[in-house]
């Protein structure tokens, strides 16, 4: 009777306890969310937002459709096989006069000039000489007399291709491709096909810098991991010391060191290695040297983290089983450092892909990387579409490298687990 009474008396208190626990758990989650929320908002507005804007600008094409709306509507059903009919010419004449009155003609002419060189002149001369709206049925003849370019199919194909609201023009241009008059994708003209070479140069420089950083950083990381903590911490300060100096200052310092009358050339001549100063700056050599110096810590730190986690007992066990130091290093130690090598190479390579200041200051005209062209189109020519397209391709390349690295690391972990 007493046990039954206690059970029935205690039963109602169990439900409020569960509710209090759930309430406490929700409160803990809300507090955690409140702590993380500022960081998430910061990333949203400073990282994800600009990336989304860049992706959209690479396909956005609003200029012509807003300035020449009637022309775009008249060309909607045009098959492109011949010059459009009188309706399209009349619509173009009305749009040109309206754009001249509102002062928006330059917006459309700038965009169309990307598609067809000289279109700005065509549109400007037409707007200047078109005094009044043509009479009914004479728009085609009137515009053809003002500028013979209106009698060519390529002129109208450029307008139709830029009708918007979205386009593949900038992405194709970033790959040295374009669309011909019939709408087929073809290679760009040789004098305009530069971006494939620039991307190849960017990847080649980034790969070379990554290899040099690995060659120079591996022994340093090995030494840091093998030394006692006191000495290791002291040497780590020297590894991190470049972070205390501005990137611009470090780049300018290399210009001073590598110039013809710089310290490096003076030392080479004093040692009798060369008779005349070498050209060590404003070329590919200067770019690689300066970028390697700047990015070397980003290789050492992942390697050091990976090597520090390797127990010395593995090497001692291999030696006790008769393995030589070289064999033990190659078969026991080196495979365990592969995650650090992969992380360091990926980090250095991705950082090198987007470098701008160092190649711009230390490199020559033939050594500029893709970041230089992105900055130029953003700040100098205001061609946001092409700048965003180049940035989008660079972002896709970076994501592809990250995916490949993730696959390799995952495969290595699975293989290691099966061996164990």
Q: Is 218 found in the same domain as 145?
A: no
- The residue from 56, 75, 95 where one domain ends is 56
- DSSP letter at 166 equals B
Q: Is 223 found in the same domain as 122?
A: no
Alpha helices in 48-191 (DSSP H): 49-57, 63-67, 69-74, 86-102, 105-115, 119-129, 139-146, 153-161, 169-174
Q: Is 82 found in the same domain as 33?
A: no
* Whether 36 contacts 380, CB under 8 Å: no
- Give rounded-to-5 percent helix, strand, coil for the chain: 75, 0, 25
Task: Label the pairing between strands 185-187 and 177-179.
Answer: antiparallel
What token pair was written down for 92? 């173009």
Say which residue the tokens 């965009």 belong to.
111
Domain assignment present for 398? yes
Provide the domain count of the chain: 3
Q: Is 211 found in the same domain as 119?
A: no
* Whether 213 contacts 355, CB under 8 Å: no
Domain assignment present for 372? yes
Give the separation between CA 108 and CA 171, rounded to whole angstroms.
19
Show the CA angle centred on residue 186, arms to residues 394 and 119, nearest 5°. Answer: 90
Show the CA angle centred on residue 395, arms to residues 390 and 397, nearest 5°. Answer: 95
Give the separation between CA 153 and CA 84, rounded to whole angstroms.
8
Q: Is 39 found in the same domain as 117?
A: no
> What pLDDT, on a 0 to 100 scale, did the predictor assign at position 244?
86
Domain assignment present for 364? yes
The one-digit pLDDT tens for each residue of the chain (420 residues) are 444 444 444 545 455 777 878 888 888 888 888 888 888 888 888 888 888 999 999 999 999 999 999 999 999 888 888 889 899 999 999 999 999 888 888 899 999 999 898 999 999 999 888 888 888 788 889 999 999 999 999 999 999 999 988 999 999 999 999 988 888 889 888 888 899 999 999 999 999 999 999 999 999 999 999 888 888 888 888 888 888 888 888 888 999 999 888 888 889 888 888 888 888 888 899 999 999 999 999 999 999 999 998 888 888 888 888 888 889 888 988 999 988 999 999 999 999 998 888 898 898 888 889 999 999 998 888 899 999 999 999 999 889 988 888 877 766 555 554 454
* CB-count burial class (<10 Å; 0-12, 13-18, 19+) for 188: middle
Domain assignment present for 340? yes
Nearest C-alpha neighbor of 284 from the set 372, 369, 391: 369
Give the separation between CA 203 and CA 200, rounded to whole angstroms.
5
> What pLDDT, on a 0 to 100 scale, did the predictor assign at position 245?
84
- The residue from 162, 186, 208 where one domain ends is 162
Q: Is 409 found in the same domain as 273?
A: yes
Domain assignment present for 172? no
> What pLDDT, on a 0 to 100 scale, did the predictor assign at position 5?
47
> What pLDDT, on a 0 to 100 scale, did the predictor assign at position 193?
84
> What pLDDT, on a 0 to 100 scale, did the predictor assign at position 415?
52
* Whether 330 contacts 347, CB under 8 Å: no
CATH code of the domain in which 384 resides: 1.10.3720.10
- The residue from 162, 177, 205 where one domain ends is 162
Domain assignment present for 395? yes
> What pLDDT, on a 0 to 100 scale, did the predictor assign at position 411?
62
Radius of gyration of the chain, Cα coordinates, nearest whole angstrom: 32
Domain assignment present for 400? yes
Segments forming the whole domain that contains residue 240: 195-415
Q: Is 199 found in the same domain as 158?
A: no
Domain assignment present for 183? no
Q: Is 355 found in the same domain as 235?
A: yes
Q: Is 144 found in the same domain as 20?
A: no
Q: Is 28 found in the same domain as 79?
A: no
* CB-count burial class (<10 Å; 0-12, 13-18, 19+) for 87: middle
Q: Is 390 found in the same domain as 268?
A: yes
Q: Is 45 found in the same domain as 139?
A: no
Establish how many alpha carbons lie within 13 A of residue 162's alpha carbon, considering only the half-sphere containing its beta carbon.
26
- DSSP letter at 381 equals S
């Amino acid at each position: 009777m007493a046990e039954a009474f206690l059970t029935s008396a205690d039963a109602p208190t169990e439900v409020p306890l569960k509710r209090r626990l759930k309430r406490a758990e929700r409160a803990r989650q809300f507090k955690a969310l409140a702590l993380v929320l500022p960081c998430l908002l910061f990333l949203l507005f400073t990282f994800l937002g600009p990336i989304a804007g860049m992706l959209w600008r690479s396909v956005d094409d609003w200029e012509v459709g807003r300035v020449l709306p009637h022309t775009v509507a008249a060309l909607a059903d045009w098959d492109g096989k011949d010059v459009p009919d009188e309706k399209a010419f009349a619509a173009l004449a009305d749009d040109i006069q309206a754009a001249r009155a509102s002062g928006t003609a330059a917006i459309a002419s700038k965009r169309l000039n990307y598609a067809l060189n000289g279109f700005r002149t065509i549109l400007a001369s037409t707007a200047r000489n078109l005094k009044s709206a043509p009479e009914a049925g004479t728009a085609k003849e009137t515009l053809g007399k003002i500028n013979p370019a209106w009698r060519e199919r390529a002129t109208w194909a450029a307008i139709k291709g830029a009708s918007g609201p979205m386009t593949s023009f900038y992405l194709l241009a970033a790959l040295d491709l374009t669309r011909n008059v019939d709408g087929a994708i073809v290679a760009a003209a040789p004098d305009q096909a530069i971006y494939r070479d620039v991307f190849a140069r960017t990847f080649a420089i980034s790969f070379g810098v990554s290899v040099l950083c690995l060659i120079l950083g591996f022994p340093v990381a090995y030494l840091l991991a093998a030394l006692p903590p006191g000495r290791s911490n002291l040497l780590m300060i020297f590894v991190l010391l470049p972070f205390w100096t501005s990137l611009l200052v470090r780049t300018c310092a290399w210009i001073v060191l590598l110039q013809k009358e710089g310290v490096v050339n003076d030392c080479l001549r004093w040692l009798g290695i060369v008779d005349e100063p070498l050209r060590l700056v404003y070329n590919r050599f200067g770019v690689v040297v300066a970028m390697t110096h700047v990015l070397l810590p980003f290789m050492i730190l992942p390697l050091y983290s990976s090597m520090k986690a390797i127990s010395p007992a593995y090497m001692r066990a291999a030696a006790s089983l008769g393995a030589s130091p070289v064999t033990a290093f190659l078969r026991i130690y080196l495979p365990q450092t592969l995650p650090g090598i992969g992380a360091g190479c990926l980090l250095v390579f991705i950082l090198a892909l987007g470098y701008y200041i160092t190649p711009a200051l230390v490199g020559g005209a033939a050594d500029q990387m893709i970041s230089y062209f992105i900055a130029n189109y953003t700040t100098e020519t205001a061609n946001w579409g092409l700048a965003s397209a180049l940035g989008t391709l660079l972002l896709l390349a970076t994501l592809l490298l990250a995916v490949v690295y993730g696959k390799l690391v995952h495969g290595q972990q699975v293989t290691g687990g099966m061996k164990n």
